[in-house]
Amino acid sequence: MEKIKVGFIGLGNMGSGMSLNIAKAGYDMVVHDINREAATDLLELGTEWADTPKQLAESADLIFTSLPGPPEVNAVSIGEDGLIEGVSSGSIWIDLSTSSPTLIRELSKNFEKQGASVLDAPVSGGVKGAQTGKLAIMVGGNEKIFNQIKPVLDSFGDKVSYTGSIGSGSICKLMHNTIGYGMQMIISECLTLGVKSGVDAESLLECIKNGSVGRGNLLNVTLQDTYLQGKFDPPNFALKLARKDVSLALELGREYDVPMEAASHAYNELTAAMNRGWENKDSRISLLLQEERAGNVEVRLDQSK
């Protein structure tokens, strides 16, 4: 895209790394944070300082915000001396925060009245990823605008994905994080049970990492070949065998007095699927029960792509 001036607000753990990578890519920048000292490294590189979000928006063509959450996003965007008071027709605001999809959709409507475009683009990869430019960036909003500003996104992220209309990037990020924390729960159950029942932590972790779980097969292979295509026959691993395995783990948990709440939920789901007469189908067929509870939502990949 033509030469632009980039504004960046929020120079904390994540924002500092991302903004530095943008600056190092050669873009003219203006920055703002509630703590001016956070901008020291950027100012030494020749970036400008803005005293308020409004002032920053008045001089920047493309604005990034990296903030803790919805209250801060709302305040910086439409609060006193907020971005909306400084943007002009053609301005682009991209929120990198992990925030509310509903909020960003509402804010987008307000900015559209000023002739400005809004994209939500939460990131994943942690502080190290922000520093090294190894971030996943999940972008929602106008696809034409996305394609226009993608080179800037590429300056601080190595996996940039367009996800759909405004708010869809935030939805993807929230689903990603919630899956991660849910996985932590059942991992902690199985690690504590494994150690308490006699396996040292190093050996247990090595076996889990070496198995299909640790190799990432569930997301990268198994679900794509079964559930995400709605194909459960012939089975990759039969439902009745999966239920048997989880049952044995729960039996071990009772023997060693280790609570297994997440595993118990998995067992109950597998049992409910068994009661549908699906015992000889692929075990992933149990996931159809959640689709039913969600209002008969079908989660399927587009096989034409």
* Whether residue 48 sits in one domain with residue 139: yes
The set of residues, in sequence order, having a beta carbon less than 8 Å from that of 28 and lying 6+ positions away, is: 3, 4, 5, 6, 47
Strands (E), 125-203: 136-140, 159-164
Give the 3-state secondary structure of residue 206.
Answer: helix
- Indicate the residue among 171, 203, 235 that finishes a domain: 171
* Whether residue 69 sits in one domain with residue 21: yes
Of the pLDDT bands very low, low, confident and very high (cuts 50, 70, 90), residue 3 is confident
Of the pLDDT bands very low, low, confident and very high (cuts 50, 70, 90), residue 136 is very high
Asked if 270 and 247 touch (Cβ cutoff 8 Å), the reply is: no
Domain with 232, as residue range(s), is 211-293
Check if 281 is active-site.
Answer: no
Query: Which one of the listed residues 159, 173, 231, 244 is annotated catalytic?
Result: 173
Decide if pLDDT at 305 tops 80. Answer: no
* Whether residue 151 sits in one domain with residue 30: yes
Number of domains the chain contains? 2
Decide if pLDDT at 62 tops 80. Answer: yes
pLDDT one-digit tens code per residue, 15-60: 999 999 999 999 999 999 999 999 999 999 999 999 999 999 999 9
* Whether residue 159 sits in one domain with residue 33: yes
Q: Using the 8-state DSSP alphabet, how is residue 38 labeled? A: G
Residue 300 domain flag = no
pLDDT one-digit tens code per residue, 89-123: 999 999 999 999 999 999 999 999 999 999 999 99
- Indicate the residue among 116, 143, 171 that finishes a domain: 171
Per-residue pLDDT averaged across 138-143, rounded?
98
Residue 228, class by beta-carbon neighbours within 10 Å (0-12 exposed, 13-18 middle, 19+ buried)? middle
* Whether residue 228 sits in one domain with residue 150: no
Residue 25 domain flag = yes
Nearest partner of 144 among 117, 114, 108, 110, judged by Cα: 117
* Whether residue 118 sits in one domain with residue 220: no
Mean pLDDT of the chain: 97
Asked if 31 and 6 touch (Cβ cutoff 8 Å), the reply is: no
**What is the per-residue pLDDT for 304?**
77
Residue 150 domain flag = yes
DSSP run (H or E) holding 40: helix 40-44
| φ/ψ (deg, to 5) at 101 | -60, -40
Instruction: Give the whole-number percent of the chain exceeding pLDDT 70.
Output: 99
Decide if pLDDT at 2 tops 70. Answer: no
Strands (E), the chain: 5-9, 28-32, 48-49, 62-65, 92-95, 117-120, 123-124, 136-140, 159-164
pLDDT one-digit tens code per residue, 203-226: 999 999 999 999 999 999 999 999
**What is the per-residue pLDDT for 281?**
98
- Within 13 Å, how many C-alpha atoms sit on residue 219's CB side? 7
- Indicate the residue among 171, 199, 228 that finishes a domain: 171
